[in-house]
Each structure stands twice: as C-alpha cells, then as structure tokens.
Amino acid sequence: MNPVGGKTAVCGLIGNPVEHTMSPVIHNFLAEKTGTDLVYVPFHVETGRLQDAVTGALGLNLLGLNVTVPYKTDVMECLSSIDPSAEAIGAVNTLVRTEEGFRGYNTDMPGLYRAMCADGVRVAGERVLILGAGGVARAVALMLLEKGAEQVILLNRSRDKALELAERINVKAGRPFAEALGLEEYGRIDASRKYLCIQATSVGMYPKTEEAPITDPDFYRLLSTGYDLIFNPMETRFMRLCREAGAEAFNGYRMLLYQGVLAFSLWTGIEISEELAAETYAEMCRAMEAK
Ligand code: NAP
C-alpha cells in the first residue's frame, strides 16, 4: 500500500454489515497500481446514522464513498445531486464529492454489463429470466432494456413486487417488455426457447450456501446460461444446478470488480485498462482464497 500522508485522499464504503467486504482489495490495489495517493476504508454505519455518516464524510473531506446494503436507496435523500441513470434505477452505490455536496451514481448496472461482456455473455436479442425483484434486479432489468434484450420475465417470491417492477419497466420501454411471475410459476414459461437467467436474489449467499431460489431440475433445463450475482461463495448451488442441466454458469465476482473499477474512475478520473482490471480480478481471487 502507498504510504499515508497529509495529502492522501480517503474513500470508503458505508453499509451494515461491511465486515466481509472485498472493496478495499479492489481500490487499494488500483491506487497502488495507478500511483494514486488514496486509501479506501470500510465504515460500519449503525441503523439511523446514515445522514450523520454522509455529513461527517463531507466534513472530513472524503473524496468518495461506496454504499452497500441496506442504504442504497435511503442514501439518495442525503445527496446534493443524482446522476439520471441512478435516479431511474432508484438506487445509488457510489458518491462523488462535488463543491455542493456528494453526487450519487449507480455503477452496479454498467458494472454488470461490462462483466457480462468480459465473460462473453450476450444480452442483445436474448430472452432473459430474472430471479428476484429487489434493488439489484431493478438495475438489471433496466440494463437489459437499454442493451436490447428481447424480453424479460421476472420471477419473485413476492409476486406483487415483480409485478410492480415489470410495470415500471414497461412504462419506460413503451411496450410490453417485462412480465411478472411468482417464483414457483416457472411452469408457465415457454419451454420451446432457451433463456439467459440472471439470479438476483440473496438466496445461496454465504453462510447459507446450500440454498438456491429454485431447486427443480426442470427449471434449469430452460436455460442456456445462468448468471448468479452472488460472489460469496464463488460457486453457488444455483450455478451447480445450471451446469448439471447443461447450461453455462457464472458468478457475480466480475460484476463486483467492474462496479469497483467504475467507481474508482469516477473518483480519480483514471480509466482502468482491461489488463489492469484482469490483474485486479486475480488479486481479488487471491484475497478470497486466503479468507
Ligand atoms: P434486496 O433488495 O434485499 O432483494 C433481495 C431479493 O431476494 C428479493 O427479490 C427477495 O424476494 C429475494 N429473496 C430473499 N430471500 C428469499 C428467499 N428465502 N426465497 C426467495 N427469494 C428471496 O437485495 P439486492 O440488493 O437486490 O441484492 C440481491 C443479491 O445481489 C445479493 O445476493 C447481493 O449480494 C447481490 N449483489 C451483487 C453485486 C455484485 O457486485 N456482484 C452487487 C449488488 C448486489 P422478496 O421480494 O420476496 O423479499
């Protein structure tokens, strides 16, 4: 790590919990490799202290912050301005210091797209299933619309939430682009086609690694590719079920990389090459194995 001095810029992560975060590995590695005088620190923010945390970060002259669960929506109230794309998603994961206060961005959505491109997963013209209708599913659905997917089917435990999200996306699309089903209603999906499936629920995340949102092998036979946004563990049960049914499977580790790379660029103005992104990814894998 670069030596810390009086001119060292500070960035960090606010969330609850933050103890298992990989973001310091990404940003401190990028700072070292690009010769940027910057350190990145996680900050645990207690319930009810979000506004204090953002005001304190401004007062302490922090250059920027990442925001994680459960504050990605609530933090929007604490900002001086919001990037239109983050506004449309309804969630902010990156704050950048400006003269007026912090400006909010969402790097999850472009981060996922860049990760999918790097993994060779095509979106344009595809029929896509999204499992989940939470914060990240909303960003995924908008990305799929922007990048030219043919159709989206949202499957969520609470069907009402899937319906609400599908309606919002359809208004934006100006056509019936998204439809909603309950998580158990996959039998209604046209089985004569193959689908890309993006797993955007929190089911299967460490420590409940033996869980998957759907366990029926028939569901997995609908898929050509499964893309799990979970990155811990690196191989989820969802991914194993995809492979057992003959589909390709990817995890969310590259999305984590690219949402971080994009945030680093917003803070520093430095474009990160694909070579340096790959080096950072290898560093993240080493750090994960050492855990
Ligand atoms: P969220 O807003 O809390 O949404 C959680 C989603 O999971 C909801 O759709 C919820 O369904 C569903 N769910 C939770 N428990 C369930 C259960 N037992 N059975 C079935 N469905 C269940 O969370 P989020 O922010 O969207 O994050 C979702 C996942 O994406 C997390 O695992 C997170 O780690 C991952 N993520 C990854 C990255 C990355 O960089 N790779 C970035 C952001 C997020 P209901 O609506 O019915 O409650």
| pLDDT attached to residue 272 | 97
Pick from 5-14, 36-45, 129-138, 263-272: least confident = 129-138
Q: What's the gap in Å between 137 CA and the centre of ligand 1?
A: 8
pLDDT tens across 66-87, in order?
A: 999 899 999 999 999 999 999 9
Give the Å distances, CA to CA, from 46 to 17, 51, 70, 163.
9, 11, 10, 32
Q: What are phi and psi of 241, to 5 degrees?
A: -65, -40
Nearest CA to ligand 1 atom 17: 203
CB-hemisphere CA count at 13 Å for 94? 25
| Residues of the chain by 3-state class (helix, strand, coil), percent to 5 | 40, 20, 40
134 touches ligand 1 (CB under 6 Å): yes
Check: CB of residue 67 under 8 Å from CB of residue 43: no
Residue 158 Cβ < 6 Å to ligand 1: yes
- From the list 72, 194, 208, 291, the catalytic residue is 72
DSSP strand pairing (151-156 vs 223-228): unpaired
Regarding the beta carbon of 234 and ligand 1, being less than 6 Å apart is answered no
- 43 strand-pairing partners: 14
Residue 72 appears among annotated catalytic residues: yes
In the reported structure, the alpha carbon of residue 204 is separated from the centroid of ligand 1 by a whole-number distance in angstroms of: 10
Would the CB of 132 count as within 6 Å of ligand 1?
yes
Q: How far is ligand 1, taken at its centre, from the CA of residue 235, in Å?
A: 17
Q: Compute and round to an integer the Cα radius of gyration of the chain.
A: 19
- For 162-203, what is each residue's pLDDT tens digit? 999 999 999 999 999 999 999 999 999 999 999 999 999 999
226-272 confidence digits (pLDDT tens): 999 999 999 999 999 999 999 999 999 999 999 999 999 999 999 99
